[in-house]
Structure 1
């Protein structure tokens, strides 16, 4: 259930960034370098989103937090790079304030989703380790009587 909510939140974040990015790319038509740089950063981000979507399709549209955590972290890094570039080159690339705000908000949302997924993944890994070792509260095996019966 938690994985489904994480996937929904990731998709919403991806849509927000895609809309914001399209707006920025259109607004930056005056500077060819900006278009190239923003295009490359957007492709990097989209590649991670595609990987997440592929993971979700393989799991009946639910993300496994353990598998998704590193991908979500990569998405956060890609969006951070995009936000940093747009912030640094806001004037040169004619980035509208609204577009930068939308992308920044989306990046924050993605970060929250990644943090949640990674926290759940950590808990799942601990539970798996406990299960593999018999758990912390597993009863100690009773000693069988020794000697003749």
Structure 2
């Protein structure tokens, strides 16, 4: 089974900026808008990073990693949307925005690699299974048993 290696890059941003909030209360917050709305998104992100870290750093099966990275990218898009709409109001530091944007781009690249590798593994396994069923492997196929040819050598 083909496996690939991943490095996890998101944990530092999640840990470093777990709480972002306004410097003072305002009437707008009383109307329902809260700068603390980003916190559940960052907590979810932290949980996703923990799930990825639980897969290990070597011989990670991309079929396990791909769906988690998809969730992590979706979470990143949600956080980025919040930041774009509320950066000034919530006084979110530009350094956070820059770091998160860079992290999101890297995570998106890793997601693409993991999902492409997972698709390739599935394609190759399906192809091998199909060839075995059709008898195109010259023997019993994936079982590893191949008869010795009979006759003069």
Which band: TM-score by shorter chain? Answer: 0.7 to 0.9
Aligned residue in 1 for 2:116 = 119
Per the TM alignment, residue 89 of structure 1 is displaced from its structure 2 partner at its CA by 0.2
Aligned residue in 2 for 1:46 = 46
Confirm or deny: 8 A CA contact 1:72 1:110 kept in the other structure: yes
Cα distance 1:87–1:134, how it changes in 2: closer, same or farther (>3 A)? same
Aligned residue in 1 for 2:93 = 96
Structure in which a larger fraction of residues adopt helix = 1
Confirm or deny: 8 A CA contact 2:66 2:115 kept in the other structure: yes
For each residue in 1:46-93, what CA deviation from the matched residue of structure 2 results, as whole angstroms up to 9, or x when unmatched? Answer: 121222223x14xx7532101111110000001111111011101110
The answer for unaligned runs of 5 or more in structure 1 is 142-149
Structure number with larger C-alpha Rg: 2
Structure 2 counterpart SS, 1:70: helix
Mapping for residues 1-149 of structure 1, pairs under 5 Å:
3-4=4-5, 6=6, 8=7, 11-19=8-16, 21-22=17-18, 25=19, 28-30=22-24, 33-35=34-36, 37-54=37-54, 56-57=55-56, 61-134=58-131, 138-139=136-137
The two structures have a TM-score, normalised by structure 1, of 0.73
Cα distance 1:42–1:16, how it changes in 2: closer, same or farther (>3 A)? closer
Higher relative contact order (CA 8 A, sep 6+): 1
Per the TM alignment, residue 14 of structure 1 is displaced from its structure 2 partner at its CA by 3.0
Confirm or deny: 8 A CA contact 1:45 1:75 kept in the other structure: yes
The answer for unaligned runs of 5 or more in structure 2 is 140-153
Cα distance 1:88–1:105, how it changes in 2: closer, same or farther (>3 A)? same
Cα RMSD for the two superposed structures = 2.7
Q: Following the alignment from structure 1 to structure 2, what is the Cα–Cα distance between the partners of residues 45 and 120? A: 23
Aligned residue in 1 for 2:151 = none
State how many pairs are aligned.
Answer: 130
Aligned residue in 1 for 2:150 = none
